[in-house]
Amino acid sequence: MKINGNAIRPGYVIEHQGRLWRAVKIAHTQPGKGGAYLQVELRDIQSGTKLNERFRSSETVERATLEQRNYQYLYNDGDIYTFMDNETYDQIPIDSKMLGEDQIPYLQESMNVIIETHEEKPIGIQLPETVVLEITEADAVVKGQTASSSYKPAMLENGVKTQVPPHIGAGTRIVVNTSDGSYVERAKN
C-alpha cells in the first residue's frame, strides 16, 4: 500500500531500497529555506542496521502489509525464543536479533504477544503495553524530597533500571510501560 512520505509513523514497516525497514523515530522538520520533510530513523528488519532517511510529502513509499496473530511466549534457548500459536498450537522460533534488545527483558513465560509476519516470515513482535515486575533494589528515600515531582532510581527483576516515586521500595511489585521502561503505578495484586 502506497503512502505519502510524511505519513510514516513509528512502528510502520516500509519497503525501501529493496528491503524491509521499521520506522523507529520520526521528526518533522521545516527548514527556513526549501520544503518541509520528515526525518525518519529506520531499522533493517533482517540485520538490525539503522538508516536515517528524509521523506518529503511529495514522495510515496510502500508500506508493507503485515499479518498479525496472537502467540504465547514459551521459553528461550540461547538466542532463540520460542512462541506458540494460540489457535493452531504450532511453535515458531524467533532469533533474538529480530526481537530487539529493548523488548527481550520484558518477555515473561506464558505472556501473550502479537507476532507480525510478512509473506509467512516473522519480522517482529508486539508486547503488551504494560507488565508487572518486582523491584529488587531501590535507593533510600532522601529526607526533604517532595512526593509529587521527585523520583529515585530502582532496579527491576529483569535487570532494567527505572525511576520510581520515593515511597516505592525493594520487594514492591509495580506496573511498567514496555515501550520505555517507565513506572506506571503500584501493582494491584
31: which residues sit within 8 A by CB, 6+ positions away?
none
**pLDDT given at position 126:** 86
Sequence letter at residue 109: E
Per-residue pLDDT of 152-187, as tens digits, reads 889 999 888 998 888 888 889 999 998 888 889 988
Amino acid 149: pLDDT? 66
In order of their start, the domains of the chain are 2-63 (2.30.30.30), 67-126 (2.40.50.140), 130-186 (2.40.50.140)
CA–CA distance, 187 with 174 (Å, rounded to integer): 5
pLDDT of residue 119: 84
Question: How much is the pLDDT for 145?
Answer: 57
- What separation, in Å, do the N-terminal and C-terminal C-alpha atoms of the chain show? 44
Nearest to 166 by CA among 177, 155, 182, 150: 150
| Cα within 13 Å of Cα(154), Cβ side | 28
pLDDT of residue 13: 87
pLDDT beneath 50, residues of the chain: none
Q: How confident is the model at residue 142, as a pLDDT?
A: 65
Answer yes or no: are the C-beta atoms of 47 and 95 closer than 8 Å.
Answer: no
Given a contact cutoff of 8 angstroms between Cβ atoms, the answer to whether 17 and 8 are in contact is no
